[in-house]
Structure 1
């Protein structure tokens, strides 16, 4: 059985003075980018069964902008993925219920990007190169695994199917 993991970094946030990191909201660019990613996920048939979301305001606001495109996706706020190293993100992924075939995690760098790099072993060279170079805000990595259970996924066992950044989607919209 194959399982599909969608790793979505929160959209671009603002840096208001006197606001704690966990309470930082999305900035104007982030409010534009997040719905683009939600639309892309829906259009491409990538709808997850479950979204694990960091409790930080910017990840919650990213999810709020993506959610309208993903009818039926369950949501779980997972405190352990806020400012988490890749190992903690991998633990959260491996704890996902086995009835979920497509899982989304909305989190933060550097842990989210590092988790993607640790999981990917196959996929188009240019996509893997782009993933290694940078995991910008609102970027999406889609990784597929041949596994019966989430707890069985291991480092280097995933195939990178897609790596999409909001700038790519905005450019495509301008070309239409």
Structure 2
């Protein structure tokens, strides 16, 4: 059975309070707007995660809240281990997911998340992989398909489906 793995970099965070610890920074107004665009995209594309694995950082948790409500609420795990996790750690976390999860959403941080998606892809010359390599901005989402058990997920074995950014989701204004 084909499974889906979505990897989302948290939305744009605020730098308004320079005294806040990095893990405590909330979303900026632009980040909240991006979450609304992403929420609409998830609904339109009928992408419904069974399991959400989210970094413990405030901006990552607020990104998750910005995507709610889900048509069917997923299981959510807030993980300190995803906070600035390296690709190998992200792989270990996904491999530990229950097989009952047909679709997983990971909300994390760069540079680890971008490195992870680039290592995960089975198609190096795919246009969406080239886009991921060029830039993985805040609010970017990479979607992959995987045919095996989560415990056997390997780098270089998942098929990229698409890559989107909040900028691509913005409604286009009509020229007069």
What's the TM-score, normalizing by structure 2?
Answer: 0.94
Q: Which stretch shifts more, 54-63 or 125-134?
A: 125-134
1:1-176 equivalent positions in 2, closer than 5 A: 1-15=1-15, 16-122=17-123, 125-147=126-148, 149-170=149-170, 173-174=171-172
Q: Deviating runs (4+, > 6 A) in structure 1?
A: none
- The total of aligned residue pairs comes to 173
Partner Cα distance (2:49, 2:125) in 1: 23
Structure 2 unpaired stretches of 5+: none
1:133, distance to aligned residue in structure 2 (A): 0.7
1:128, distance to aligned residue in structure 2 (A): 1.2
Find the residue that maps to 2:129 and give its secondary structure. helix
1:71, distance to aligned residue in structure 2 (A): 3.0
Find the residue that maps to 1:48 and give its secondary structure. coil
Contact 2:124 2:130 in 1 (8 A): no
Contact 1:123 1:159 in 2 (8 A): no
